[in-house]
Structure 1
Amino acid sequence: MTSSAFPEGRVAEGRATDDRGPLAGRTGFDEGFLGPVVPLPEVTTRGVESVVLPYTHFSVVLRPDRRLAAATATAVDGTHLAEGVAPADDWRPDPRVPADRQAGAELYRNNSLEHGRLVDLPGPVWGPAAEARSAADDLSHYPNAAPRADVHNRARRVWEALEDHLLGHAAVPDRRLVVLAGPVLHDADPPYRGVQVPLRFWKVAVFVRDGRLAATAYVLDQSPDLARDADRALAGAVPGAPPLLGAFRTYQVPVADVAELTGLALGPLPAADLMPPPPAPELRWRRLEAPDETLMDI
């Protein structure tokens, strides 16, 4: 749905355009990249507007009301990943979006929050040198960021290694992968500097196996563990400080659960889920301690 908050001529049918500016010519995520169509996630909540921001090899589905992405979609060509190409150092707003409709520098200034890239290396950084450089530079636009706790624990390392693991094991020999990802935008997320800080993130990896789509899904949880942090939570946050966030926990979850958590339409992906049915309801979400613990029903 097109947002009326965007200047006339900058958004058409919910898709941001930039024919002359620094993002001119960006075509975004290719839904046919794998062969079988993987549709861009669609916000289905009634009355909630979104806009698609195309970059190089990926797209961001922005929710202007939350000033954050609802979803991202990335085409990953594992055979042609570029080495030694880093994202731009400077975070910057997307010029196609009004500043008050995207979280910016103020959210991250003088606090412990980090710019959590929703699409990150190596992801879209592949192809000829100029194309790979363009993709890397695009990673540092604010719509591709969501605030995360600056905690580098084991669960976070698992989360960050999942894409490499799946590229190496799931999509051989073509080594092509689609990664859908984003924050879980819940109405109860704690507010901070005009932005509600998400407590969970999600990721769905999609590839082709035996000519058909296959998918696995994951959730990264940074909500506080009240069993350990009850005193701090009950005392409340220090005035002006970011909300209390806990250590990361990574889970493999049913794709259908991601669709339900996020209110996003994920097309054929719930039916393509490789996670076997849980032996008991309480095991529906499976905590991961290493990427190779991913269940793929093989």
Structure 2
Amino acid sequence: MPRGFGPSAGLDALRVTNAILPLESYDDRPGYDPGFVLQSHPLPLPGPGRWADDLVHLTPEARQQSRDDSELRYTHFSVRMAQSRALPLCSACNIDGSRSDHSVPRSDIWRRDPRINTGLQNLNEGYGHDHQGLFSRGHMTRRKDPNWGPPEIAQRADADTFHITNAAPQRQGFNAGIWLALEDYVLDNTDRANLKVTVITGPILSPDDPVYYNRRIPTAFWKILAFVHAGTGALTTIGYRRSQMDYLPRPAGGRFVFGDFRDSQVPVRAIAQESGLDLAAYAELDVMAGAGPEMEIRVASTADFYLSR
């Protein structure tokens, strides 16, 4: 089974729970740290952009003074969600490569978050075993990325990634190759004195998305990575888009028409246009900042990425 994806387990009661954790158990979740990669140049959580009126907000009981009530904070990552789609708009994670704990056992139990309306958290519909033609719960922040720090913190981070707020429907097999290797590749090209990366991941949500099992399924996903480049010493961002069109079953008597590459490096400005999020802080640091938003570079391996201007 590819890393980084929830199992195709909608029909497996052992891997999905309707039990809700106590609200107070989330009080110590710090969430995404804007200054994590470089304190002198903080990168904010993506702004809601055109989704401003469609954000999922914390319930009154879960709100804390002076906090953004559309930010779901977890261990080393945060999520914003779209109410109309009951899906994440983005999941932003801080990765400390020097403190990663790869020994953390997989929590493997998907659950809802008690801090928001449970009706906006689809735990089961459309998900199931891949051989039945259903979709996997696809991690946005992948399971191992926030698993760093002391063992108890790394284990809590792993469990936090299994909230359904951090998942979107994806076909098993979509999450492989470049999509999985990109964070590791960028970590290998960071300033060794600052072995840190911020990764923001999300689906491209469109009203034209195809419907399967009563759900609109996103056909593409994106990542933005921010890091201090080993060669230039500069805070740098890159954008990546991956299409799952080739993995989607075709409607009876129908076909898809599309022209984008399965894997491509794209300007952050293009991701901002397609996702509808405010990514201005990331776009100005992009290695493709000088390219038009329609520009895309087909990538066959991580070595094909441009990491500097």
TM-score, structure 2 as length reference: 0.78
Verify: 1:188 aligned to 2:208, yes or no: yes
What is the aligned partner in structure 2 of residue 214 from structure 1? 236
What is the aligned partner in structure 2 of residue 108 from structure 1? 127
Verify: 1:79 aligned to 2:98, yes or no: yes
Superposition deviation, residue 233 in structure 1: 4.5
Across the two proteins, how many residue pairs are aligned to each other? 268
Opposite residue 124 of structure 2, the aligned amino acid is A
What is the aligned partner in structure 2 of residue 235 from structure 1? 253
Q: Structure 1 CA distance, aligned partners of 2:95 and 2:107? A: 19
What is the aligned partner in structure 2 of residue 259 from structure 1? 272
Verify: 1:250 aligned to 2:263, yes or no: yes
Which structure 2 residue ranges, 5 or more long, are not aligned?
Answer: 1-20, 57-69
Superposition deviation, residue 273 in structure 1: 0.7
Q: Structure 1 CA distance, aligned partners of 2:29 and 2:22? A: 9
Query: Per the alignment, do residues 152 and 257 of structure 1 end up closer, same or farther by CA in structure 2, a change over 3 Å counting?
Result: closer
Is the Cα–Cα contact under 8 Å of residues 22 and 114 in structure 2 kept in the other structure? no
Verify: 1:93 aligned to 2:106, yes or no: no
Q: Any idea what SS the aligned residue of 1:163 has?
A: helix
Query: Per the alignment, do residues 152 and 47 of structure 1 end up closer, same or farther by CA in structure 2, a change over 3 Å counting?
Result: closer
What is the aligned partner in structure 2 of residue 28 from structure 1? 31
Q: Structure 1 CA distance, aligned partners of 2:106 and 2:27? A: 19
Q: Structure 2 CA distance, aligned partners of 1:39 and 1:203? A: 15
Verify: 1:41 aligned to 2:46, yes or no: yes
1:105-132 per-residue CA deviation (whole Å, 9 max, x = no partner) reads 2231354311110011431110011111
Q: Structure 1 CA distance, aligned partners of 2:73 and 2:237? A: 23
1:134-167 per-residue CA deviation (whole Å, 9 max, x = no partner) reads 10110111011111112258xx311110000001
Which structure 1 residue ranges, 5 or more long, are not aligned?
Answer: 1-17, 238-242
Q: Any idea what SS the aligned residue of 2:33 has?
A: coil
1:73-104 per-residue CA deviation (whole Å, 9 max, x = no partner) reads 10100100012113311111112122211221
What is the aligned partner in structure 1 of residue 6 from structure 2? none
Query: Per the alignment, do residues 39 and 152 of structure 1 end up closer, same or farther by CA in structure 2, a change over 3 Å counting?
Result: closer
Q: Structure 2 CA distance, aligned partners of 1:244 and 1:98? A: 36
1:242-275 per-residue CA deviation (whole Å, 9 max, x = no partner) reads x999xx9211101111111111111321110113
Superposition deviation, residue 37 in structure 1: 0.6
Identity %: 32
Q: Any idea what SS the aligned residue of 1:203 has?
A: strand
Opposite residue 24 of structure 2, the aligned amino acid is G
What is the aligned partner in structure 2 of residue 293 from structure 1? 304
Is the Cα–Cα contact under 8 Å of residues 60 and 69 in structure 1 kept in the other structure? yes
Is the Cα–Cα contact under 8 Å of residues 218 and 253 in structure 1 kept in the other structure? yes
193, 196, 201: which is aligned to 1:176?
Answer: 196
Is the Cα–Cα contact under 8 Å of residues 43 and 263 in structure 1 kept in the other structure? yes
Query: Per the alignment, do residues 102 and 193 of structure 1 end up closer, same or farther by CA in structure 2, a change over 3 Å counting?
Result: farther
RMSD of Structure 2 on Structure 1 (CA)? 3.0
